[in-house]
Amino acid sequence: MEKIILVHVTGNDRPGLTAELSEVLAGFNVDILDIGQVVIHNFLTLGILVRLPHDSQPVLKDLLFKAHELGVTMKLHPLAESDYASWVGEADKQRHIITLLARSISAEQIAAITAVVSESGLNIDTIHRLSGRVPLAGRPAQNSRACVEFTVRGTPPDIAALRAKFLDISAELVADIAFQEDNIFRRNRRLVAFDMDSTLIQAEVIDELAKEAGVGEQVAAITEAAMRGELDFKQSLRKRLSLLEGLDESVLCRVAERLPLTEGAERLISTLKNVGYKIAILSGGFTYFGNILKERLGIDHVHANELEIVDGKLTGRALGEIVDAQKKAELLQAIADQEGISLQQVIAVGDGANDLPMLNLAGLGIAFHAKPKVKKGARQAISNLGLDSILYLIGVRDRDVR
């Protein structure tokens, strides 16, 4: 009768250790049913699930002797066939990825997340650090990044409730927690679409123009209400633009020169471009500024509102159809169709209420440094790190970028 044994090895890691152990098994023509290995600070944990013939003593004896030679600890765990069959039967269980993002990782954050996982009837399969190794000298830098990824198995009874718990933890422990289904689309995104103002850049352009026109406070108040979803976007934009009537065209260049990119924007976009992503701006802002970013960052698609200018002066009106919430969603669908990709392969990023339809249409929609209403309405949210932390949500490690 065949035997199923889990071989569990721990000890100091060194090159060739796994090779020497597997060579022993190869000498007896052993079948490997599963294998997994992790090394933390040069300490190895290795598991090999093997199927042995009835006369298993020779292979186990040689295996234990080899472990002694290598100076590692080996434990052998026999498994009943019924237990193994049950484990195989769980292979089709739904899997999800939980991503913890913060400036630094604390035990309190890990404890809070794993408690929710347990309460939801999920089981953790793997835990990996995606961010770089942390030096001991000094405190984490202001723009530091830390990320741990959990793979969990099972189907939560209430995904909305689980996301709400993670959102509460995020606010309390200064961290961001993403919960995604682990499927082929997560590893095969192809397009990312950004809102521009307060997402790709750290400003609201129309507010900056209003300052130049001497109506900054009036316009900023309308902008804030619109982003909270308290005003119809088209109506609010027309009202704000009307206050800019007569502004000299030369002001646009002056404002563009002082617009700061959001933390991590260049690193994110250059990384994604290098691996073949298409990049889009879908903005309720203005094409003048979107086209400047297009040239600077290599963006493929820009859709925004066009300011009407007559005799070198802003007329206080926009040309053509205003890009509002619904239009953003329509444009996202059109670009995906044009590029020949599924919406499940699309990432959308925005901060305002007018971004929600776009965020919820995309396979991965992210509310970025957004208002509470937008965070709750989107499936994912980032509030503590820069735009390049999005790389972690698609499984990219820091070492992959370097």
Task: Give catalytic residue positions.
Answer: 195, 197
How far apart CA 76 and CA 160 sit, in angstroms, is: 42
Contact 402, 391 (CB under 8 A): no
Question: What are residue 365's DSSP bridge partners?
Answer: 348
For residue 159, CA distances in Å to 110, 381, 393 come to 19, 15, 18
**Beta strands 146-153; 73-79: pairing state:** unpaired
> If you ran DSSP here, which 8-state letter would residue 362 be given?
S
What three-state secondary structure class fits 279?
A: strand
How far apart CA 316 and CA 245 sit, in angstroms, is: 4
Burial per residue of 349-358, b for 16 or more beta-carbon CB atoms within 10 angstroms, e otherwise: bbbbbbbbbb
Burial per residue of 63-80, b for 16 or more beta-carbon CB atoms within 10 angstroms, e otherwise: beebbeebebebeeeebe
Q: Which residue has the tokens 């984490």?
A: 140
Question: What are residue 38's DSSP bridge partners?
Answer: 45
Q: Which residue has the tokens 């030096």?
A: 135
Burial of 62 (0-12, 13-18, 19+ CB in 10 A): middle
108 membership: H or E segment, kind and range: helix 107-119
What three-state secondary structure class fits 361?
A: helix
**Beta strands 31-40; 95-102: pairing state:** unpaired
Burial per residue of 377-394, b for 16 or more beta-carbon CB atoms within 10 angstroms, e otherwise: bbbbbbbbbbbbbbbbbb
